[in-house]
Structure 1
């Protein structure tokens, strides 16, 4: 074999391998996969393209273009806010907001705000709106009317974030925290209400029992009145005869000895009649 050919062959092999690697590298950088629940945006030399890419595989110019992915799934943002109620009670509110990015407006959001929009837009908006709404209600109403407070916060937050193409899916007030003095006053009020309710129930029970006794007494009086109406002179005489008959059954035939003109205990005349 020609010695010159032997010297050229390793160089060609290296060149061939390098060419294959370059082709593979270019090929690998020519396609990008957009994940499910995301949309993609082309970025060419640092400039965003408003062409929105749906989930799947897409072509891009190797080493020139990149594709940034924007999560459009529902995401949760949690924030703690310190404010004062209408009656100047300090209150700490823990709020959880479920939001999502509008798919069709992802370019505007990323081009105007950037990927850190949760810290730039969402959290400050929650802080401001929660403080604004809680200041409208007394501290006790924040507890008893939580659904109303939550609805008002959601309404204001939805309008605020819509300007940045963000959708508010749901909002939850996880917890209200008040001062220890206020908690004690609420507890004392609840105890007083329970005692008042118990006293009211006892009074009602006593009134019912009194009415029952009155009704019972009236029933007994009515029964006695009816019984008195049934007592006639004939009935009295009949009862006397019954008593005398029973006495006669027990009589041994000997009349008792009496003095002083007393009337015999058996009326023989009435019996003979």
Structure 2
């Protein structure tokens, strides 16, 4: 009997532990959990530890972080050239609407397969034929914006948010790619030549400007020197005129000038007046 009692107690303890384990669940960060009662979705709970009724309630997690879907599809360009396009789109389930999404579509995988992917393919096939192959390669961003705008419009009524969209790859026939590369190389060479010519023109203009500035500098110096000579000449002329006027107005200035210039020696001869001979007054 004691062994039977211990076995029963152990069994009951095990059952209680199992029931406790079945009564709790944890919702991971970045997810919400849909709680179902006999298979019917009833409520959703946020990350953390939660309780449920064993054998009655079951749970299923829904990711509410950003997800990415990729599609590779065939289409054609505006000139009817076959093209294969690889597109990726980021999208997020609106946290508060996860229960509605689950009730309506049964989960993320079903929503992607039934709703998102078909509309993504449709948007890509609606936009790509508007572009010629060369334009599609060189102006990929415009095609991306148009596809993204169309997809956002198509998904506006669903409980998700469409994020960034990217065209990851554009596969065209190899011969056409080679012709595009050749054309691009020619454009690059032409652009390089134009740049070279523009640079040469700029350098020539710079030399002209330098020569012009140098000539203007020389001309300015010459003008300054000529003006200085002119000013000096005018000053000297004015001085001569002033001196002549002073001599006219005062004859004694002449005597004064002679006196200032006399070297202190008496003349050695005196010229007589009339018939008087010239006398030598030097000492014998």
Give the structure-2-normalised TM-score.
Answer: 0.66
Listed one character per residue, the Cα deviations across residues 32-64 of structure 1 (whole Å, up to 9, x for unaligned) are 111111001111111111x22010111110111
Candidates 162, 169, 175, aligned match of 1:175: 169
Alignment of 1:209-224 (within 5 A): none
Alignment of 1:13-24 (within 5 A): 13-24=6-17
Listed one character per residue, the Cα deviations across residues 48-101 of structure 1 (whole Å, up to 9, x for unaligned) are 11x220101111101111111100011121221211111112111111211111
SS in 2 for 1:62: coil
- Please name the residue that 1:107 is paired with: 99
Instruction: Mark the CA change 1:194 to 1:29 in structure 2 (over 3 Å): closer, same or farther.
Output: closer
- Please name the residue that 1:237 is paired with: none
Bigger CA radius of gyration:
2
What is the CA distance between 1:181 and its match in structure 2?
2.1
In 2, Cα distance between the equivalents of 1:12 and 1:205? 102
Query: Do structure 1's residue 76 and structure 2's residue 68 form an aligned pair?
Result: yes
SS in 1 for 2:130: coil
In 1, Cα distance between the equivalents of 2:172 and 2:160? 31
Alignment of 1:128-143 (within 5 A): 128-143=122-137
What is the CA distance between 1:125 and its match in structure 2?
1.9
In 1, Cα distance between the equivalents of 2:45 and 2:195? 69
In 1, Cα distance between the equivalents of 2:203 and 2:64? 68
Compute the RMSD of aligned alpha carbons.
2.9
In 1, Cα distance between the equivalents of 2:199 and 2:65? 59
Alignment of 1:186-265 (within 5 A): 186-197=180-191, 200=194
Instruction: Mark the CA change 1:27 to 1:200 in structure 2 (over 3 Å): closer, same or farther.
Output: closer
SS in 2 for 1:135: helix
In 2, Cα distance between the equivalents of 1:213 and 1:33? 79
What is the CA distance between 1:159 and its match in structure 2?
2.4
- Structure 1: state its 5+ residue gaps: 1-7, 216-273
Instruction: Mark the CA change 1:27 to 1:183 in structure 2 (over 3 Å): closer, same or farther.
Output: same
Candidates 27, 47, 67, aligned match of 2:40: 47
Query: Do structure 1's residue 62 and structure 2's residue 54 form an aligned pair?
Result: yes
- Structure 2: state its 5+ residue gaps: 210-284
SS in 1 for 2:114: helix
Instruction: Mark the CA change 1:197 to 1:27 in structure 2 (over 3 Å): closer, same or farther.
Output: closer
Give the structure-1-normalised TM-score.
Answer: 0.68
SS in 2 for 1:131: helix
Query: Do structure 1's residue 155 and structure 2's residue 172 form an aligned pair?
Result: no
Q: How many residues align?
A: 211
What is the CA distance between 1:209 and its match in structure 2?
9.5
